Structure 1
Amino acid sequence: MTTPRWGITVPFEGLSLLDQKDLFQRMPDLGYTDVWSAEANGNDAFTPLVLASQWAPQLRLGTAIVPVYTRGPATLAMSAASLAAAAPGRFALGVGTSSNVIVERWNSIPFEEPYKRMRDTVRFLRTALTGEKVKADYDTFSVNGFKLATPPEQSPPILVAALRQGMLRLAGREGDGAIINWLSAEDVRTVAPHVRQYGEDKEIVARIFVVPDTDAETARNIGRWAISAYLNVPVYRAFHEWLGREELGPMWKKWEEGDRKGALAAIPDSVVDDLIVHGPAEQCRERVQAYVENGVTTPAIAPITPPGTDPAAVVRALAPVRS
């Protein structure tokens, strides 16, 4: 099984945003079809994609993801409509609940009823992006008379970032598919059926963390730092408990005790090797393909590399093999 789609996460570390124009322009010739933006504490999700829409109009654009708490519903609809207008038919809106860290600690917004907030936001966006006036009381917010002044000619597909069963099913039932994150290729077999029970055509985008052309010890150290930063966040811990990843128990225990160094050391090599793709670039591409064979529609490679790594070299190394 092969995929016609091959994406990568943008923007790239190590270069200012404006200095990435040449890199974006070269990606279609290297075989990339998609660029997917992330949003945490660096660039916002929309600005890099606006630039990409002009720098490389062949590329499909997607957010993976925009939090549903940190923008008001109307503001989120306006941002999505603007990008959909800039890249007609080439934009996919990926939304997610994010985490208590980003929502509460960094943005001072209560992280309450995430499932309902996601469901309500998807329902609102479905209506708002058509240009219809919205006057509705949802469970988690109310909108009184909002109407997009310039709705896009084509409403973008809406993808839901999902971890466990409830949100995965929501992604399939009310969204156009799911964005999945922090899982192994084998884990895809567990999560994909929850989405595709609502249609085999549902898209599944996977952010896949990759450390290419780096020795195993360095790659595993990078992977451990990333795992400890993410998988101790409650939503990700619950996800991996659901997946049955008992090997992370010692890390969680040390973290709860306040022993950050001990938590880092407690992460087994086997878990790093499952969750972080590393090794020679050719081997990395093969492992990304394994995600596709297990049910991913669109791989969105997320390089995590040692400081000083040339982003252009990484983009070339991970480009799909072409005949």
Structure 2
Amino acid sequence: MQVHVQPGGGGVRGGVILFRGTGTAARRYLEADRSQADEYYLEAGAARAELSVVDGAGMAVDDRQLTPREYAGWVDWVDPASGEPMGRARRAGAGRLGSPRFAEMVVNTPKSLSIAAALHPDVSAALDAAQRDAADMIRAWLGQHSVTRIGPRGRQEIAPVERLQTVAIPHRTSRAGDPHRHIHLQIGTRVWAAGAWRGLDTAALFRQQGAIRALGTAVLAAHPHLAAVLDAHGLTLDPVSGEVVELEPFNAVLSKRAAQVTRNLAVFTAQWAAAHPGREPGPVVRARLQAKAWDHHRPNKRPARLGSEAGWRRELDAAGYTPTYHATYLALRSWRPTT
């Protein structure tokens, strides 16, 4: 598997990455990103890779679930609808990179929202719907703003994309087995324009990634149904941060991977400062240190101790969590003075 992180790509967690491996490698890559507590689309042949095709106006023209075999074929540039090839991928070798098969952004969810979903089944369902809405909004935006290049090298012209394919794969846990609701949104690098399959202009995509991230964050933070379901449990969705106010203090308890990264970053930053006395790291150096902190000792295999709602609740109880506050809040809210 080859994953190329574009310099200045907004960080490892939130930035766009280009995947240059095969379809088989892509399946392994996705499997490694979750624990066994997560229901994953490759298990038992259940299809959970969701393909969506949008036109240049951002309207969906095809939606379907892909089997594991169809998903691997899509990564290898086989059109799931027609079964026809969408081009020939360049292989890596002799100092050159292989063709990018897709560009990926992860639609992350604030940790406290993941915790709320683990505690309450109806919040879980509402969060699933909100994440789908965020992915749909991003797809529509991409359909409207993605471009390709047409013409011989040196005389290419920019042209709008007429059909864009994306695949969404939802996960519910982190590699550390903690609750972490997120969607891998994979943007196909083969697009239809001017009567042929062409390459997505990934340079333009990298320039657009800030707008894409902001769009996904805004949809979750301002989702009315999600806010209403949380409110029914005495929980408050912060419309700015997207965090659940009452559960945010417990984020660190169920963020083992984030805590590890924080420790790594402190060590690497101290090492850099010792090697560069009197200097402050600039944005490029900070981005490299952050990427190194995330990669260092990154779990490649599923954890031996798996996460579960019951296990997460025990960890929260040990940290001092109690639903008493929520019950009191609900009782006060429903109380009406007698006359």
TM-based fold match above 0.5: no
What TM-score results when the alignment is normalised by the length of structure 1?
Answer: 0.28
